[in-house]
Structure 1
Amino acid sequence: MEKDKIIFGAHSINEALNEAVDIDKIHVNLATKGKYNDIVSKAKAQHIKVSFVPHQKFKKYEHLNHQGILAFVASISYRELEETVEAILKANPKPTFLLLDGITDVRNFGAIIRTAECTGIDAIIIPTQGSATITKETIKTSAGAAFKIPIIKVAHIKDAIFYLQSSGVELIGASEKSETSITEVNFNKANGIIMGSEGKGIQPSILKMLDVKAKIPMTGEINSLNVSVACGMFLYENLKQKG
């Protein structure tokens, strides 16, 4: 990240939190773990990811008076869930929201954002913890689409699912164990498509909450696809049906 994307030192970071600067994550030197409890508590209250890392991680920032704590400012401005969903539903009776449950590879994330923008997805929803963030690599892979589509960050994907379902949005999850093909699903309505992590897919507790589970029909010997490719197939089936 560039210098202007980093806030360093306890006082500056505390002020940024007070001013609700859109901070993506905070790194705290393990050696100073107990020193910044107030900042850590304030950050977590704002659903900002805090990581305690070894001092080696701070080596490339030695030119900064960081005092063992760094805040990385988000490359984009994340949107709020309720006001964004409300505005989208008001403008479009049959929108599509894309929820990502634990996508950790920044290139996969960027590719998904690019496909989502190309297929008219109304917003992308990601969790604060356990998800890739918007880095320079993500933006590059997305071909700039990260600046063109609303990206919502929530404390937990379950929060978004509850809110979308209460707003009349049907939730469709990608699951290779489903007996239903994506071609058999009715996408022509207000919906949310959920894609799981690269290795484990959608969490079982989240799968139970969904209205529909669907798989991609495959005939080859390899029975799984890269998540960005699988996501693209769901999004294009959605686009085809919505016309």
Structure 2
Amino acid sequence: MGGFLFYLCPMQDNNTQIFGIRAIIEAINSGSTIDKVFIQKGLRGDLFNELDQLLRTNAISTSFVPPEKLNRLTKKNHQGVVALVSPIEFHDLDTLVISVIESGRIPKFLILDQLSDVRNFGAIIRTAECTGVDGIIIQKKGGAPVNADSVKTSAGAIFKMPICKVDHIKDAIYHLQSSGIQIIAATEKTENTLYDVDFTVPVAIVMGSEGKGVSSSILKIVDHHAKLPILGEIASLNVSVACGAFLYEIIRQRLA
């Protein structure tokens, strides 16, 4: 191994960590699916600079943390970095879209725009699998991690649902639109309800983050805006609940 540290440490519930700067560099270069890297604040040096460049080039999510956080993640000699390896393999968006279209199914995709709560993420994956969603699209940076918690809250559905990680959500939307798929943003910033939208055509639903909803730049490029009617005093629903309502409206229309 050339004298450097290389540790693979199984974690509870389908997670694996890699620690040691050189080990993580080698893992990235070998094509391992790294979900997130925790880096000790203030870390410096040529080897770290090499790792930092790789992380940026591959758009791998990172978080700068105090050493206490890393020590809680592992008791091993982590050298100031710990990486979490994804429990699943991600799908290529272009290949998945072609496969769905060639299958003869009416495409039904889900796009998650900066959704950050891992429990909501897992719940959405579970509902998506139950409603026959063809694939979920997430951004490489800024979204909820694919980790043990998302595996648990999805009740294992994460292993059955194709998930695509893309550099930019906007590029994924343009690609879907060019493939004949209409994009519908779930947003309160509209007068149209989901019952005004035709879901019998190929569609992709965009669900936004828990606090901000769908970002304004995304709202400008989608084909339709739709909201759930709210009859009570609370202004909004939990995003996973709202997502379920949209997905089952697709089923209702397509079974009618």
Task: State the TM-score, normalizing by the size of structure 1.
Answer: 0.95
Corresponding residue of 1:201: 213
Distance 1:57 1:127, change over 3 A: same
SS of the residue 1:32 aligns to: coil
Give the Cα–Cα distance (whole angstroms) in 1 for the partners of residues 73 and 235 of structure 2: 44
SS of the residue 1:66 aligns to: coil
SS of the residue 1:5 aligns to: strand
Contact 1:29–1:55 (8 Å) recurs in 2:
yes
Aligned equivalent of 2:35, options 20, 24, 42: 24
Identity across aligned pairs (percent)? 48
Corresponding residue of 1:111: 123
- 1:175-186 → structure 2 map (5 Å cutoff): 175-186=187-198
Q: Which amino acid aligns with 2:204?
A: G
Contact 1:26–1:49 (8 Å) recurs in 2:
yes
TM-superposition CA deviations, 1:159-179 (whole Å, max 9, x none): 111111111110000011211
- 1:11-160 → structure 2 map (5 Å cutoff): 11-35=22-46, 36-61=48-73, 63-160=75-172
Contact 1:94–1:190 (8 Å) recurs in 2:
yes
SS of the residue 2:88 aligns to: coil
TM-superposition CA deviations, 1:187-230 (whole Å, max 9, x none): 01111100011111000011001000001112212221111110
Q: Which amino acid aligns with 1:167?
A: S
In the TM superposition, residue 34 of structure 1 has moved relative to its aligned partner by 4.8
Corresponding residue of 2:11: 2
SS of the residue 2:142 aligns to: coil
In the TM superposition, residue 50 of structure 1 has moved relative to its aligned partner by 2.0
In the TM superposition, residue 139 of structure 1 has moved relative to its aligned partner by 1.2
Once the two structures are overlaid, the 10-residue window that deviates more, 41-50 or 196-205, is 41-50
Give the Cα–Cα distance (whole angstroms) in 2 for the partners of residues 152 and 62 of structure 1: 29
CA RMSD of aligned residues (A): 1.5
Runs of 4+ in structure 1 displaced over 4 angstroms? none
SS of the residue 1:99 aligns to: strand
SS of the residue 2:42 aligns to: helix
Distance 1:34 1:242, change over 3 A: farther
Q: Which amino acid aligns with 2:22?
A: H
SS of the residue 1:71 aligns to: strand
**Gap regions ≥5 residues in structure 2:** 1-9
Give the Cα–Cα distance (whole angstroms) in 1 for the partners of residues 98 and 74 of structure 2: 45
Give the Cα–Cα distance (whole angstroms) in 2 for the partners of residues 15 and 151 of structure 1: 25
SS of the residue 1:240 aligns to: helix
Once the two structures are overlaid, the 10-residue window that deviates more, 44-53 or 124-133, is 44-53
Between structures 1 and 2, the one with greater helix share: 1
Contact 1:44–1:50 (8 Å) recurs in 2:
no
How many residue pairs get aligned? The number is: 243
In the TM superposition, residue 241 of structure 1 has moved relative to its aligned partner by 1.3
Aligned equivalent of 2:242, options 211, 215, 230: 230
SS of the residue 1:52 aligns to: strand
TM-superposition CA deviations, 1:25-72 (whole Å, max 9, x none): 111111314551111211221221122222121122452121111111
Distance 1:33 1:198, change over 3 A: farther
Once the two structures are overlaid, the 10-residue window that deviates more, 142-151 or 82-91, is 82-91
